[in-house]
Amino acid sequence: MSRARTLLLIAGAFLLIAAIGVGVLGWNARAAGDQVPKGVTVAGVDVGGLSPAEARRKLARTIGGPSERPVVVDVNGRKVELTAKEAGVAISFDGAIDRAVKRGEEGNFISRGWRELTGGEVDGNEKVTVAINGRAVTAFVDRIAKSVDKPAVDASLALAVDSVSVNDSQDGSRLENPDKLRKQIVRTLRKPRGERTFAAKIVAVKPETTTDEVWAANQTVVTVSKSGTTVRVFVRGELSKTYSVAVGSAEYPTPGGQFTVQTMQVDPPWNVPNSEWAGDLAGQTIPGGAPNNPLVARWIGFNGAVGFHGTADGGSIGSAASHGCVRMNPADVIDLYERVRIGTTVLVV
């Protein structure tokens, strides 16, 4: 055989081998074209080497099932659920699978065939699309907030003619940062295999006025019983002193209600009202201590021209005899004067 013929045969053999190799690579490239290339994951699930249908079934099993779990929120030991259906959870695998398959189209048919022939992998992960009904999640969080939201109750003074107490303040409660909880739920619903149990954080709402503050503002309270012609002094709810007094007559009754001490004066002058009963003294000012001044020793006003004062008419004590004021024995009104201050609460019943 001539040298030329030998070289020709060798070249032909190489060409045949190359053609076979290219054919093999091309066949492998085409065979892998309808599969997800090895090494590719969808939502972290390995679907490499699977057909689109096989990948869809595997994803439905490993992701679809977990995605249907409810969200559970612990609200002070009470479990509240939001189902995946209520939240409008819907997962689309098709787009992610299509993109995963297209990962295998990278490069030319020779590189693709070689990768398939040698068991090479494509490094990549495709995300699935998870649809959420945001309004449903918001409504769920709103229901939780409504179930725990409780306004604080301010302390208040509870008055009766024979008792003084304070209705205690009460803490309220509210859901801390509802928007944060809503975002947590949305995030976990978008992660089919993520944690779906949360604890709602409930915080206390403090009252504006506490029990101690009410007592501090009402250390001393004075009550007047018109029917019993009795004045009582309470200190932090405890009866401290009792006086027998005279109150307004049927014609000029002492006004009832809750008041505060407005004015206090030692040996007060008497500004005589322009009333028919005042006679010739109407409109005059009688100096303090004058014999014709009925305001003896002290004045403690709680409703304009109405107040406590001493009287020289001791015989009227225990009756309804005044023109509206509360008459007291001079020693008693002096004692009361030392027990009260401007702003002291006065209840007249």
Cα–Cα distance for residue pair 90/42, rounded to 1 Å: 16
* DSSP type of residue 153: B
The active-site residue out of 325, 326, 346, 348 is: 325
Cα–Cα distance for residue pair 321/209, rounded to 1 Å: 40
Cα–Cα distance for residue pair 229/347, rounded to 1 Å: 13
Decide: 172 and 150 in contact? Cβ < 8 Å.
yes
H-state helical runs in the chain = 3-31, 52-59, 65-67, 94-102, 109-118, 134-148, 178-189, 211-217, 330-339
Q: Quick one: which H or E segment has residue 1?
A: none
Task: Report the SS3 class of residue 201.
Answer: coil
Q: What are the backbone angles phi and psi of residue 108, rounded to the nearest 5°?
A: -90, 175
| Catalytic site includes residue 325 | yes
The active-site residue out of 69, 182, 232, 309 is: 309
Cα–Cα distance for residue pair 151/265, rounded to 1 Å: 43
The residues annotated as belonging to the active site are: 309, 325
